């Protein structure tokens, strides 16, 4: 078993402030329209508009580009920016009012994490953010918010993040990390990796939780024959090894606990161990399999074959993912309900 665990660790190693004052005016990179359009209350008595396909992209120069479609083209849409993912009215900044389906904006604090509200007049709006999280020096960091979860629900932005190791963060990266306001960082690196790479450069208010996956004393004999692909076999070990299951179960329980959010999961590359932790979380929240897989494959050095190996082992051992959650990870219905209540919101 030790020889099966070691290739995973070796390959994983090869793979990964305060906020500025919000009073400064924003600069539109390209005018949304020749003149602002009135945001009239009378629209509420007419057909309700809604926006869809809302996307946010951050360019290298710090410009944010937002695009969307509207069920009622030509209806004014108000756009707000905030460092608070809940975009409460007291803390959000108006960006523009436009009848176009896009806006570009610059002038936002580059050290902060920004969220946007897109609200059509008299209609139903939504919030969005750039999925990739900018942490200078750190790779493969992103937000698990904004994913559909069925029944008109989606995952909340700014609540759970995933990343590669944080130790390469520059001074700018450390300030950007502090701006996320994390309560906890769950570190899935092995004890040996942490000793070699160093502790995470976290602000004093953020707790570091060591949940190592891949320590030698966690090894147990595998219950399946080797496939010849050590990484795929390690994905099966995520499912069969009780010591590793305990670490992933702990991650779910922490995500369900409001006192420990917002939080971040990371390992070395942010792809395999963090990848499976994110898969487990999104599956528990009811995110569709195709979307879960899409998020997983955003990380480098991932493969459909690796994820298929884990899913296959889940079915072999527990019959379904819900069986894996309840029997394999020991997640109770109360914990699952708390997790969904905390991390899902109505669109």
**How many CB atoms are closer than 10 A to CB 21?**
7
Q: Mean pLDDT, to the nearest integer, of 6-21?
A: 36
**Helix, strand, coil shares of the chain as percentages rounded to 5?**
35, 20, 45
Query: Whose CA is closest to 129, among 84, 75, 179?
Result: 84
70-83 tens-digit pLDDT: 988 888 999 999 99
- For residues 113 and 122, what is the distance between their CA atoms, to the nearest angstrom? 28
Q: Mean pLDDT, to the nearest integer, of 129-135?
A: 98
Which of 5-19, 138-152, 159-173, 287-301 has the lowest average pLDDT?
A: 5-19
What is the overall mean pLDDT for the chain?
A: 89
Q: Mean pLDDT, to the nearest integer, of 273-283?
A: 98
Q: What is the value of pTM for the model shown?
A: 0.87
Q: What residues contact residue 252 under an 8 Å CB cut-off, 6+ apart?
A: 280, 281, 284, 325, 329, 331, 335, 339
Q: What percent of the chain has pLDDT over 70?
A: 86
For residue 42, the model assigns a pLDDT of: 47
- For residues 32 and 175, what is the distance between their CA atoms, to the nearest angstrom? 32
Name the band, by pLDDT with cuts 50, 70 and 90, for residue 328: very high
For residue 210, the model assigns a pLDDT of: 97
Q: Mean pLDDT, to the nearest integer, of 110-115?
A: 97
For residue 47, the model assigns a pLDDT of: 65
- For residues 345 and 209, what is the distance between their CA atoms, to the nearest angstrom? 27
- Bigger pLDDT: 27 vs 188: 188
SS3 98: strand
> What is the DSSP pairing of strand 77-82 with strand 115-120?
antiparallel
220-239 tens-digit pLDDT: 999 999 999 999 999 999 99
For residue 123, the model assigns a pLDDT of: 85
- Bigger pLDDT: 4 vs 79: 79
- For residues 128 and 69, what is the distance between their CA atoms, to the nearest angstrom? 14
Whether 35 has a pLDDT exceeding 80, the answer reads: no
Question: For residues 166 and 135, is the Cβ–Cβ distance under 8 A?
Answer: yes
- For residues 297 and 331, what is the distance between their CA atoms, to the nearest angstrom? 26
Whether 315 has a pLDDT exceeding 60, the answer reads: yes
Name the band, by pLDDT with cuts 50, 70 and 90, for residue 30: very low
N- to C-terminal Cα separation, the chain: 46
Q: What percent of the chain has pLDDT over 90?
A: 81
For residue 292, the model assigns a pLDDT of: 98
Name the band, by pLDDT with cuts 50, 70 and 90, for residue 254: very high
Q: Mean pLDDT, to the nearest integer, of 171-185?
A: 97
Query: Whose CA is closest to 256, among 180, 334, 338?
Result: 338
For residue 23, the model assigns a pLDDT of: 32
Name the band, by pLDDT with cuts 50, 70 and 90, for residue 164: very high
- For residues 145 and 150, what is the distance between their CA atoms, to the nearest angstrom? 14
Query: Whose CA is closest to 97, among 42, 36, 52, 50?
Result: 36
3-state secondary structure 39-88: CCHHHHHCCCCEEEEEEEEECCCCCEEEEEEECCCCCCEEEEEECCCCCC
3-state secondary structure 209-263: EECCCCCHHHCCCCCCCCCCCHHHHHHHHHHHCHHHHHHHHHHHHHHHCHHHCCE
Whether 324 has a pLDDT exceeding 90, the answer reads: yes
For residue 46, the model assigns a pLDDT of: 56
- For residues 160 and 252, what is the distance between their CA atoms, to the nearest angstrom? 11
Name the band, by pLDDT with cuts 50, 70 and 90, for residue 347: confident
Which of 29-43, 116-130, 241-255, 320-334 has the lowest average pLDDT?
A: 29-43
181-220 tens-digit pLDDT: 999 999 999 999 999 999 999 999 999 999 999 999 999 9
């Amino acid at each position: 078993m030790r020889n099966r665990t070691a290739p995973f660790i070796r390959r994983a190693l090869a793979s990964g402030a305060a906020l500025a004052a919000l009073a400064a005016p924003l600069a539109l990179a390209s005018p949304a329209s020749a003149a602002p359009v009135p945001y009239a209350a009378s629209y509420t008595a007419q057909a309700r508009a809604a926006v869809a396909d809302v996307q946010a992209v951050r360019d290298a120069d710090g410009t944010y580009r937002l695009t969307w479609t509207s069920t009622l083209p030509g209806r004014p849409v108000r756009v707000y920016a905030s460092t608070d993912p809940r975009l409460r009215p007291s803390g959000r900044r108006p960006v523009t009012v436009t009848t176009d389906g896009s806006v570009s904006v610059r002038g936002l604090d580059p050290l902060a994490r920004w969220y946007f509200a897109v609200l059509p007049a008299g209609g139903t709006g939504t919030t969005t953010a750039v999925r990739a999280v900018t942490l200078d020096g750190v790779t493969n960091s992103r937000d698990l918010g904004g994913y559909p979860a069925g029944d008109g629900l989606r995952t909340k932005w700014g609540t759970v993040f995933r990343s590669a190791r944080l130790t390469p963060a520059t001074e700018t990266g450390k300030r950007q990390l502090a701006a996320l306001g994390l309560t906890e960082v769950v570190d899935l690196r092995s004890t040996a990796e942490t000793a070699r790479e160093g502790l995470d450069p976290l602000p004093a208010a953020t707790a570091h939780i060591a949940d190592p996956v891949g320590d030698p004393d966690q090894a147990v004999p595998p219950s399946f024959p080797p496939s010849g692909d050590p990484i795929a076999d390690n994905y099966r070990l995520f499912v069969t090894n009780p010591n590793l299951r305990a670490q992933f179960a702990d991650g779910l329980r922490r995500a369900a606990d409001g006192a420990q959010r917002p939080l971040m999961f990371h390992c070395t590359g942010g792809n395999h161990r963090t990848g499976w932790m994110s898969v487990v979380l999104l599956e528990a929240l009811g995110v569709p399999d195709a979307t879960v897989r899409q998020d997983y494959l955003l990380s480098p050095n991932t493969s459909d074959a690796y994820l298929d190996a884990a899913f296959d082992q889940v079915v072999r051992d527990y019959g379904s993912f819900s069986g894996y959650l309840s029997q394999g990870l020991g997640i109770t219905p109360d914990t699952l309900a708390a997790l969904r209540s905390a991390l899902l919101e109505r669109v």
